[in-house]
Structure formats: C-alpha cells, structure tokens
Amino acid sequence: MSSVQSFGYLDEYAKKEVRRSALKAVAIPGYQVPYSSREMPMGRGFGTGGLQLTLSLIGSQETLKVIDQGSDDSVNAVNLRSFIEMTCPGIDTTTKTAEASLIQSRHRIPEQPLREDQIIVLQVPYPDPLVLVEPSEDKRKQMHGEMDYSRLLVKLYEDMVRFDEITISHRYPTRINGQYVLDPSPIPRWDVPKMNHSNALILFGAGREKKIYAVPPYTDAEPLVFSDVPFRVEDFSDASGGRRACRICGCRSSFLDEYSDSRTGETVYQCSDADWCEELSQSTEKPAGVSNA
C-alpha cells in the first residue's frame, strides 16, 4: 500500500473546501468561517490549521518561508517546512522574508514590512477572543452575531481596576474594519499594529478548532482599548529608560528575546526575528535605530 500523496498532501476536495472557506473569510473580515479540517500527520496544536491553508494555497512556482517564534530553524518550523518540501515538489523555500511569496508563521509577524505580493498564514490555537469571557462556543457565536463585545470590555475594565493595567499580553483582541473582534493568534502586542492596513493579506488557520479567518489588506485593525487607556506594545527599556539593543545586530527597534547567557549568567537580548537580525548583521548601511553595539 502506497502512502505517496498528490501535490500538497490533501486531496483536491479537501483543498476546495479550504479555498472556499478562505474566500469567505476574506469577504467577511474577522469572521471565523467554520470548516471540516482534516487530520494532518502532525499534532493538532502544531500548526495543522495554518498548514491546511498553506497546502491549499501553494503552487509549484511558490517561494515559501516557515517560521516559529520568528526563527526558521526552530524545530517545529523545520518540521513543517520539510513536510511541505516533501509533499510539494518543485517549490522553493527560503529564510529571507523579502524573497518569500508565502509565509507560514507561528507567534510572529516578521519585522520587515510585507508587500502586496506576499501572503502570511498564521497558526492559531484559539480562534475566538471571546473565549476569555465565555467558554461555550454556541454562546460566543451569538455574541459575535450581535457584535456584542461588552463582556470583553468589562474584562479589560476589571483589569484596570485590579492591576491598573490591561493584563492581556499576547493574542490581543483586535477589531477588524470596526466590526468583528478577532484573536490575532499568539503574536505579541508588538505585532498587532502590523495588521492595520497591511499591504499583505493575512490569513489565520485554526485546525483543531476548525476555523479560518482573515484580515484583508488595507483594512482597519484596531486593538480593543478604552479612549483613556492607550494600547501599549512590549517595553524593552533598560533601567535608565534607554531602548535595549540586540546583542548581535544592535537593532533597537525589533521585538527581543530575553535569556540568560549560560557562561556569564548575564541577561542578554536578541532579535526574535532571525532573518531580520541576519539581514541587519550583514548590511553595512543600518537603518535608523540601529547602533553598532
């Protein structure tokens, strides 16, 4: 018995269903379109929703980039990429954001602004922002139908009363085109503004929860806030208030990973976006905000 599959692993009917759902998702920005979601040969939670989108989109002329936590060499990114290389003969893969026509990512949107001819697919564990306040999917569907997000706002308000700060760190609820509120996948708050009037189409795939949704290009994407409490991205200031720099490329304008140096025990900072860091390290002309640390 052969386990050799057609181009893109999924059968053509499965791809058709994903394609129909993706078109609906784009036509109804921010709305979670349900779809049947086939089992993939990797775990539910490892990017099967993003993968089904990628496999339904990809063609032999594609240049694909796969990242996890901003890194092309993260084990899960490597695993997904080699599966796609194996099942989609003829495609190119790259680590360079600028070269990719299709990007599948978990937890990050690249620092390098995307172009109109690129599409980014984000892997989603929890597609529904209302799960913070309502466990029943049926009830959440009603709330979305009425575009009733009052309980989310109450949760934010309670945070302010209790901690004087909104405690949502990532997966920040974001209102699309002034209508639906979506879960932007576990990207940091740092990446949320990149969704607003993006040049590139952003697609979201939740395999286990069986939902596809989208933010079309040039569409309002506004984090849910109160008028007197501004939305704030992660703060990378040091004790004296200066912006921390990446220890490799010196960039002071990227999202940083923080860890302790195993030799010195010192806390060090490094770009989370591996390609961004690499490009800056090799470039002689550094953009503004980069110091030669």
Identify which range of 23-31, 149-157, 260-268, 285-293 contacts another protein by CB under 8 A: 23-31
By CB under 8 A, what part of segment 27-66 binds another protein? Answer: 27-29, 31, 33-41, 43-46, 48, 56-60
Residues 120 and 113: their CA atoms lie apart, in Å, by 11
Does 285 contact another protein by CB under 8 A? no
249 catalytic? Reply is: yes
The answer to whether the Cα torsion of 84, 64, 78, 196 is positive or negative is negative
Nearest in space to 123 (alpha carbons), one of 168, 76, 172: 76
178 catalytic? Reply is: no
Nearest in space to 119 (alpha carbons), one of 65, 79, 197: 65
Six-digit token string for 254: 């990227």
Does 155 contact another protein by CB under 8 A? no
Q: In the complex with another protein, which residue's Cβ is closer, 149 or 190? A: 190
Does 254 contact another protein by CB under 8 A? no
Does 127 contact another protein by CB under 8 A? no
Identify which range of 10-18, 150-158, 243-251, 276-284 contacts another protein by CB under 8 A: 10-18
Which residues sit opposite 176 in a β-bridge?
Answer: 221
Please identify which residue in the block is written with the tokens 């960039």.
251
Q: Which of 115, 142, 238, 260 binds another protein (CB under 8 A)?
A: 142
Six-digit token string for 163: 């901690």
Secondary structure element (H or E) that encloses residue 214, with its range: strand 211-215
By CB under 8 A, what part of segment 166-225 binds another protein? Answer: 167-171, 177, 179-180, 186-190, 197, 201, 208, 210, 214, 216-220
Residues 110 and 120: their CA atoms lie apart, in Å, by 9
> Could you give the residue numbers annotated as active site?
30, 246, 249, 271, 277
